[in-house]
Structure 1
């Protein structure tokens, strides 16, 4: 399929599909006329890339892990391929994600506290008028 059809089927603009190619995340073939052609599997690949980007992974991180993923729940690890650089990248990403989780949890708790302070529960004497 051509880039326009892939864009239509995935909802991802052609500009982003070209960017994924530049980032070595998507690998179209080239027709004799120079047009990009995509296999059917590109639809799933683009959806996976979008999901990983939406979850906050960087394109650098995706380049490191995409070769080992065949679906959202399927990981095919190749321990011999885990270089020290990739391991450090993964550890750094785990720490970054954990920091985001911690920050979100703190903000959630603060918002709950604020609501509890300014919005009394039904039956609270502060709501009687």
Structure 2
């Protein structure tokens, strides 16, 4: 398939595909006329990359998953290197959650000091009282 069809089927832009190629994540074969040509395997790679990017992974994080698929595994997550990326990412997210909870507690304490007796918690539902 040509680049436009791969882009359409994967839900990405042709520019993104060229960038993935430039980064060494996918490899296009060239037709006699110079057009890029891709296979179903390339579609699987791009789908894996996009799903990882969607949940906050970087292109660099995606490399072990791509390598795992290229090695013939059914899932890009079935190789030890991919599992390690998952572990690192979870640790990173846990750190971000800890930082946010600490910041929230500090802001809540400041609000409590500024407004003793004020109720605070989640914001009220904006749709309450509307018909």
TM-score by length of 1: 0.62
Tell me the equivalent position of 1:5.
5
Tell me the equivalent position of 1:68.
68
1:13-32 counterparts in 2 under 5 A? 13-32=13-32
Gaps of 5+ in 2: 108-119, 125-131
| Alpha-carbon distance in structure 1 between the residues aligned to 2:77 and 2:22 | 25
Gaps of 5+ in 1: 120-129
| Alpha-carbon distance in structure 2 between the residues aligned to 1:15 and 1:61 | 20
Deviation at 1:97, TM superposition (A): 2.8
Tell me, yes or no, if the aligned pair for 2:28 and 2:37 is still in contact at 8 Å: yes
| Alpha-carbon distance in structure 2 between the residues aligned to 1:72 and 1:59 | 17
Tell me, yes or no, if the aligned pair for 2:48 and 2:76 is still in contact at 8 Å: no
Root-mean-square deviation (Å): 3.4
TM-score by length of 2: 0.61
| Residues 18-49 of structure 1: CA deviation (Å, up to 9, x unaligned) | 11111111122111222110002222221111
Number of aligned positions between the proteins:
107
